[in-house]
Amino acid sequence: MAIFTYENLVDPMLKIVRQSVVDFTVMKAGNRVLDVCCGTGAQVIEYGRRGINATGIDMDKNMLAFAEKNKSRLKMGNVSFYVADATALPFDDNSFDFVSVSFALHDKPPDVRASVVSEMKRVVKREGALLFMDFNIPLPRNIWGVGANIVEYFAGGEHYLGFKQFKESGGISKIVEEHGLVAEKTGYFKSGMVAVVKANML
């Protein structure tokens, strides 16, 4: 059995951020919220705990199997997971109050990243908001910033190339600007390693 897995390394480290995000964004019980590229579903489960009608999508069945296991253990009827491609979301326009993406833009090539954000814009309601959580660029000059660079380097391949381009291009604030979104609120977590941006369509 693997010891160093996403769910026992990354998820515990980000737990506080995932919990804080619900209040930061001012999501309410009953809101319809989508998390794209949800991985193990940890963010979706935090939404579910707060009475939000939460949906998570990811392309990786193994990640979603873990998410489904947690959902069953916690008996969460207000949470759903689907295998889907974030660049072609299987949802109608204007369907969700909030659409979030957590640590799943920094690792992608620019064209994929742009398609994911375009799809997030399409499925969120016009009066709704998008939520971006990812590495804060520039990374802080502390142990967290150094650690992030090391972890991304060892991820290697396309992931590392995506990360390099993400850093060079200015990270989340640049993505928000390029997509014509308005950053309503930005928060920083984990000694400045993580940036959370709530962005509006209007």
* List of residues contacting ligand SAM (CB under 6 A): 10, 37-39, 42-43, 58-60, 63, 85-87, 102-104, 107
| Alpha-carbon distance values, 46 to 67, 170, 190 (Å) | 12, 28, 18
**Overall size of the chain counted in residues:** 202
| Minimum gap (Å) between residue 72 Cβ and ligand SAM | 19
Q: Point out the residue whose Cβ comes nearest to ligand SAM.
A: 39
Is the dihedral angle over the CA atoms 175, 153, 187, 103 positive or is it negative?
A: positive
- Residue closer to ligand SAM (CB basis): 91 or 103: 103
Tell me which H or E stretch contains 82. strand 79-83
DSSP category for residue 87: T
Beta carbons within 8 Å of 174's beta carbon, 6+ residues apart: none
SS (H, E, C) 26-78: CCCCCCEEEEECCCCCHHHHHHHHCCCEEEEEECCHHHHHHHHHHHHHCCCCC
| Minimum gap (Å) between residue 202 Cβ and ligand SAM | 26
- Residue closer to ligand SAM (CB basis): 64 or 176: 64
* CB contact burial 24-40 (16+ within 10 A = b; e otherwise): bbebeeebbbbbbbbbb
- Residue closer to ligand SAM (CB basis): 66 or 145: 66
- Residue closer to ligand SAM (CB basis): 104 or 123: 104
| Minimum gap (Å) between residue 184 Cβ and ligand SAM | 21
- Residue closer to ligand SAM (CB basis): 3 or 202: 3
Residue 135 to residue 163: CA distance in whole angstroms: 9
| Minimum gap (Å) between residue 95 Cβ and ligand SAM | 17
| Minimum gap (Å) between residue 159 Cβ and ligand SAM | 8
Residue 54 to residue 140: CA distance in whole angstroms: 32
| Minimum gap (Å) between residue 61 Cβ and ligand SAM | 9
- Residue closer to ligand SAM (CB basis): 86 or 127: 86
